[in-house]
Structure 1
């Protein structure tokens, strides 16, 4: 005798009754006790694909997705005014004034006196400064000096003071590290110009171009904005962020080592003599203290930008990056090494 079908109550909405033949073990019980019809409660948990799906990369990296909380209008306006003021001071002080005034304490006196730092403005740059710039550029990332040191002399490295070479390459390596950070900035769509051009000018000219970007990125979001299309350079920098971080970090370390011990056989003295030269260099060459300005601004902009873009970092490394972002260079290297890969 065939067992009656066993109804199964399912909680799916709308509720529906489905039937199936009871298993053999049930058939005997059902035949003996036909009045006892077991009900099996089936609970379905439906989770839509959107609940399980990972947040799109565009939403995490900005440009069409969610962005970090906007600052109040008053705070934003104040920050923008400060940044534009810094830009004006940077151009006026470093490029236009015949002499750039600073305050320096005399060693033999407790009193602090005002002095005027020597150095050529852009409109009266000397041939000696141009020669130094060409020599420093030829020694970019110490490629020529290192090749010459191992016997490769296809082109001779200009002989410059290692302190000047170290300072120059430290700033350039730090600028290189900023590239992937700019191309993953969640507010980069506020800047309507080319990030390729901006970073190129920042890398090979001066930091003059990063200050306006920091001010423009504080503009309010546009309601109908679309995700910015990343350039080929931007894609290379973002996809190769760990390599950029490794190269930039190594060059920064090499720059410091080179400044205090490089060209040891060329008569530049020991650490004390080199430190004395650095002090003299910073207060006699406008190019030198322009590098100091750049390093100061990078020390401010680095934790600011990383803090706004912590969502781009792998979840298990976000805490570490949030802490070390305040350490110059180190925080930026950590951000690049821990940057989450694009889907």
Structure 2
């Protein structure tokens, strides 16, 4: 007679190839419980028989705990997809035989020639050309420059009179500073442009000249950046000005955006103590100003061109935006001024823009 211990540790009988099926064996059981019965059944003698584990049997392991601090693969793929979509338009121009790129360059160079001829040299546009500029226009330009960013008028309004601010029509001051404030915000955009290395000149000088002559220098840059990229080109380092503008891009955006907002308010309500009339009177002055002054007429051209170049440049550089902000910047880039402010506020500061 076997002891309970011996019965418990009795080894199961070897399995032969030709074994008569027992009435209670799992192989004779069908239905939903067949699988469970095969893994746990009793022999006719009442002994519990455990199934043998093959050497090839793989034990199920519990899934590894996910790290909450590590982004999932799906999130990473979404981010990569967003960055791929960011440069779709520019990739379309880069790819193929280059016909689209060359045609676009021709259009830009023609626009540069028309811009210089029509606004600087030919006498057909409103106002005086450069070679016949009047002293009145020169005095107006000097006065507008002294009221740069409304620094002197605002200081005078609080009783600080370092230099007497020239008193000009607030509509002309507002239009001038609106364009300058918008141009000011282009600096970080140019320094973070992924194609700036195709421009062989200094981006510092380019932007400095743009502050004075706006699209006279921005149009050629837009054409040159469409050149084919050089192979094995080592990116150059950012200048000191470029580093300051890039690292301080949010500050530049707030300053430039603030100047643009003040410019609109100043044009409509500034110098209320002067004899400049109400809003309707000021709008009438603006119409006459645009039709008689070459500088004001050129500002209209600048507004139109900036409205085209802003979304173009931002669209080519959406890779520089923080991952969570790409979609909103991609929509806002078409809104004049607002889109550029959004780009500067959402710029990824951890990225190397050298």
Asked if these proteins are the same fold (TM beyond 0.5), I'd say yes
Q: Is the 8 A contact 2:109 2:219 kept in 1?
A: yes
SS in 2 for 1:146: helix
Instruction: Report deviation, 1:42.
Output: 12
What is aligned with 2:316? 308
1:182 to 156, 170, 190: 190
What is aligned with 1:292? 300
The separation in 1 between residues aligned to 2:60 and 2:206, in whole angstroms, is 61
TM-score, length basis structure 1: 0.76
What is aligned with 2:121? 96
2:207 to 175, 180, 199: 199
The separation in 1 between residues aligned to 2:105 and 2:264, in whole angstroms, is 34
1:226 to 223, 234, 250: 234
Q: Which runs of 5+ in 1 are unaligned?
A: 1-35, 46-51, 55-60, 62-66, 101-116
The separation in 2 between residues aligned to 1:71 and 1:152, in whole angstroms, is 58
What is aligned with 1:13? none
Structure 1 residue ranges (4+ consecutive) displaced by more than 2 angstroms after TM superposition: 38-43
The separation in 2 between residues aligned to 1:303 and 1:266, in whole angstroms, is 39
The separation in 2 between residues aligned to 1:132 and 1:192, in whole angstroms, is 35
Distance 1:150-1:258 versus aligned 2 partners, 3 A rule: same
For residues 206-256 of structure 1, give each alpha carbon's deviation from its aligned partner in whole angstroms, at most 9, with x where no partner exists. 320000000000011101211121111000000000000000001000000
What is aligned with 1:85? 110
Q: Which runs of 5+ in 2 are unaligned?
A: 1-52, 65-72, 77-82, 84-88
Instruction: Report deviation, 1:164.
Output: 0.4
What is aligned with 1:154? 162
1:136 matches 2:144: yes
What is aligned with 2:17? none
The separation in 2 between residues aligned to 1:42 and 1:208, in whole angstroms, is 70
SS in 2 for 1:341: coil
The separation in 1 between residues aligned to 2:202 and 2:316, in whole angstroms, is 21
For residues 104-143 of structure 1, give each alpha carbon's deviation from its aligned partner in whole angstroms, at most 9, with x where no partner exists. xxxxxxxxxxxxx3x1111111111111111000000000
For residues 152-191 of structure 1, give each alpha carbon's deviation from its aligned partner in whole angstroms, at most 9, with x where no partner exists. 1111110100000000000000001110000000110110
What is aligned with 1:242? 250
1:252 matches 2:251: no
The separation in 1 between residues aligned to 2:105 and 2:288, in whole angstroms, is 35
For residues 311-340 of structure 1, give each alpha carbon's deviation from its aligned partner in whole angstroms, at most 9, with x where no partner exists. 100000000000010000000000000000
Distance 1:94-1:234 versus aligned 2 partners, 3 A rule: same
1:76 to 87, 90, 101: 101
Instruction: Report deviation, 1:205.
Output: 2.7
Instruction: Report deviation, 1:342.
Output: 2.6
What is aligned with 1:170? 178
The separation in 2 between residues aligned to 1:170 and 1:202, in whole angstroms, is 14
The separation in 2 between residues aligned to 1:311 and 1:188, in whole angstroms, is 15
Give the paired residue count.
Answer: 276
The separation in 2 between residues aligned to 1:268 and 1:91, in whole angstroms, is 33
What is aligned with 2:153? 145
TM-score, length basis structure 2: 0.73
What is aligned with 2:33? none
Please tell me whether Structure 1 or Structure 2 has the larger radius of gyration of its CA atoms. 2
- What's the Cα RMSD here? 2.5
